[in-house]
Structure 1
Amino acid sequence: MNGGPDSRGWLACCLSGAVFAVCMAGTTLPTPLYSLYQDELGFSELMVTVVYAVYAFGVIGVLLLAGNASDAIGRRPVLLVGLGCAAASAVCFLCATALGWLFAGRLLSGLSAGLFTGAATAYVMELAPRQGSSRASFVATAANMGGLGCGPLLAGILAQYAPWPLHLPFIVHLALVAVSVLILLGLRETVAERRPLRTVRPQRPGLPPEVRAVFRPAALASFVGFALFGVFTSVSPAFLSEFLDVDNHAVSGLIVALAFFASVAGQSAVGRIGEQRSLSLGCAGLLGGLVLLAAAIWWQLLPLIVLSAILGGAGQGLAFRAALSQVASASPADRRAAVISTLFVVAYLGISVPVIGVGVLSDHIGLQDAGLVFIASMAVLVTWAGLHLLRRPAVKGR
């Protein structure tokens, strides 16, 4: 098999996955650096959460307006534009002498992630050998969540142990983006019949009546899982510094990375556990992660934050992959893309709206109490989703 079509297909699949990971790493790269930007530019914790959330609105905008662009004009052109947005985002952070640069950088980062989310997932799976769809799906999942985890880890290590903490992480990322462009130019296009860009139309989120019973708990679990990630990646470094005296940027980056790496592990287990059980177990994992996070905030214990990241991340991985599969299976073929887009919109609202809420509350009642209010709210939602799942029968694919 060495040198045969299958091995070449897996090489192309893994290389495209590496490009996917590089793009997604750029979206979480600033996570352990926000405290440094606060010291440098002098803005509040609320503004940290708003800067962070701008990313999600960029993703949602692209998903709605151009989420199907790669089906028309090809995967590689869309991914090259995504890498261009990622590079422009890094340049904005390199030039960040005022808050506006951070907003621009986060928006461009969201645009890059929105362009990559659908196109790169499809590209990774299309480049793989035909009989390896399950394995290719995991490559795409690992590239997505693994890349998100590598961003804060890389930035934290460089900020802590290398010079130019607000510049070197983005210089390194620019170099990785340049290599990714070369890799992408060497891979084949997988869309055989391409159409002009003018044929691309905005996708309207849709929810046929027969999908609603499946969609509600799936969407709630996705919302809570992404909200937990949003809090970890926006305000957990500030909490570690303020309440636990953890000023090591590498440690902050590692804790955030653990949540994403645990999500990869959770998603990889769905095939063995089954979708129905995975969604229920994912809700339980999310609830457990929230309880541990509440205990960590209340007693100010670092080990509990680590355990919360691992358990909550695994729960998010189980719940989101199972939710995506169940919603896709329950959807009519001619509405499936619209329904999946709706699920992603709900998920990315989860990574933005609650985070801003935490920022607003922290200005009035403090970061600790704001975190507890957030946890209580998310616990109610995920408990409702879990109870709803226990009451309904397993979903059968179409």
Structure 2
Amino acid sequence: MAAWPVTAVFILSNAATPLYVLWQRDIGFSKGTLTVIFAFYIIGLLGSLLVSGVLSDRIGRKPVLLPALALALAACAIFATASTVAALIVARLFTGIAVGAVVSAGMAAVTDTAGPERKPLAALLASCAMVFGAGLGPLLAGVLSETLPAPTVTVFVVEAILLGTAVLAVLLMPVRRPAAPRKGAWARVPGVPRGNRIQLVLGTAVFAPGITATSFVLSLGPSLLSGLLDTTSRTIAGAMAFAMFLTATGVQFTVRKLPRSTVLMAGATGTTLSMTTLIIAVNTASAPALIVSALLAGTGQGLGQLGGLSLLNSSIPSHRLAEANAALNVSGYTLAGILPVAAGYLSDTMGITNGATLFGAALMALAVIGALVVIRNRHRASGRDLREPPACAARFTTGLPPGTGSHRP
């Protein structure tokens, strides 16, 4: 139940992806403008992360999640009635704010309800809820928009209903408010305790390139696919995004018993191969290669995300966990906001082949650097925290003495 609000909000996060071709036709805007609309989602998300992680750790998960879901419902209403670029920007901004709250407070709530002895399982469920929702959104939007009338309205009416069920899930969620408020600034760049910085660096090194790769597919993938296949099918565009995130979900279950260092190395390798295949796809006009690139991008994000969350869950105390989740996502989404926008404007000025090629080369280099960081610190990222640890080990990693009730409701 705790993972459903994460899934519901992430369905909204990418539900607009197959619909941009309709808005481009009706409103009229370039690929560069499209990536700017996408970037406002990143801006809202990053701004939210500056506050939501710290706020959630201090006042509780529910007081952060409920306003976020209300904002997501407002985004649905704006999307459903959008007739200008400004409206799309506002809707994406609201969506980003809601997602920022969910990736910090919502994912921490999953860990809280699971209990300290099931932290690895919680990391897996939270990560899969995020990527599955992100993939289900564009598929659902693509199918509904081509089978039902008023496509840009119907999609968001259905999503509003899903968000309504998420509100009920939050209200029923068995999580407690923090025992005592902590001191310090309420809004700050989220971070981790000094002794846990290496875990954040290792997670970021792989997660940031991975989520940037999937962000490119979401923002410019439909345009590339329509050009290569000479089709404007929204179902096909949504299916490619769904397959990408379904891969991201499935691969996490596949590797859940592997050491974290192996998971992170596999994630960096997936992103590197994704960018290699992307360059081949745009330079040979190969739609199959583009689809393979998207699947590999999903692999890179899924493994980087699972590895990063597992590193944090295994070492960060519960009262700092939401902020730690926010820190990981700030680092990842910052890169995911910058590079795809640059690729969009390069595609407008140099052509989409050259723009995508330069993007792929730059991200490939960052993924290789991430792999080298993991190799250099393999001993710090190793261990088997993706498995179920003994209860005593779980208590040790939370900093609680044996025999305490921990943070389980």
TM-score range, shorter chain: 0.7 to 0.9
1:145 matched to which residue of 2? 131
Instruction: Answer whether contact 1:203 1:338 (CA < 8 A) is retained.
Output: no
Aligned pair 1:62/2:48, yes or no? yes
Q: Does residue 214 of structure 2 align to residue 229 of structure 1?
A: yes
Q: Relative to 1, partners in 2 of residues 1:155 and 1:332: Cα closer, same or farther, differing over 3 Å?
A: closer
Match of 2:100 in 1: 114
In the alignment of these two chains, the number of paired residues is 383
Q: Which residue of 1 aligns with 2:76?
A: 90
Identity of aligned residues (%): 29
TM-score by length of 1: 0.88
Q: CA 1:174–1:391 in 2, change beyond 3 Å: closer, same or farther?
A: closer
Quote how far apart the aligned CAs of 1:191 are.
2.2
8 A Cα contact 2:127 2:305, kept in partner: no
- Distance in 1 of aligned mates of 2:265 and 2:152: 41
Contact in 1 for aligned 2:42/2:96 (Cα 8 Å):
yes
Determine the structure 2 residue equivalent to 1:273.
258
Shift of 1:123: 1.6
The runs of 5 or more residues in structure 2 that have no matched partner are 384-396, 398-409
CA spacing shift, 1:314–1:45, aligned 2, 3 Å: same
Aligned mate of 2:336, from 351, 354, 358: 351
Which residue is equivalent to 2:157? 171
The TM-score normalised by the length of structure 2 is: 0.85
Give the drift of 1:274. 0.9
Matched, 1:310 2:295: yes
Looking at structure 2, the residues matched to 47 and 126 of structure 1 have their Cα atoms a distance apart, in angstroms, of 40
Does the CA contact (< 8 Å) of 1:23 and 1:177 recur in 2? yes
Which ranges of structure 1 fall in alignment gaps of 5 or more residues? 1-14
- Cα separation, partners in 2 of 1:359 and 1:151, compared to 1, 3 Å: same
Q: Does 1:390 align with 2:375?
A: yes
Q: More deviation in 144-153 or 329-338? A: 329-338
SS class of match (1:167): helix
- What's the offset of the Cα at 1:50? 0.4
Aligned to 2:3, what secondary structure does the other structure show?
helix
Summarize the alignment of residues 46-61 of structure 1 with structure 2, pairs less than 5 Å apart.
46-61=32-47
How far apart are 1:282 and its partner, in Å? 1.2
What RMSD over aligned residues (CA atoms) do the two structures have, in Å? 2.7
- 2: CA distance, partners of 1:140 / 1:208: 22
User: What is the identity, as a one-letter code, of the residue corresponding to 1:242?
Assistant: G
Q: Is the 8 A contact 1:330 1:395 kept in 2?
A: no
CA shift at 1:275, angstroms? Answer: 0.6
**Structure 2 letter corresponding to 1:54:** F
- Report what 1:3 is aligned to: none
Hey, what's the Cα distance between the residues in 1 that align with 2:125 and 2:317?
Answer: 27
**Contact 2:211–2:333, Cα closer than 8 Å, also in 1:** yes
Structure ranking higher on relative contact order (CA contacts 8 Å, 6+ apart): 2
Report the CA distance between 1:220 and its aligned residue. Answer: 3.2
Measure how far apart 1:251 and its partner are: 1.0
1:188 to 174, 185, 195: 174
Aligned mates of 2:208, 2:218 — CA distance in 1? 15
2 CA distance for matches of 1:365 and 1:284? 29
Q: Is 1:259 the equivalent of 2:244?
A: yes
- Could you tell me how far 1:317 is from its partner in structure 2? 1.4
Which residue is 1:32 aligned to?
18
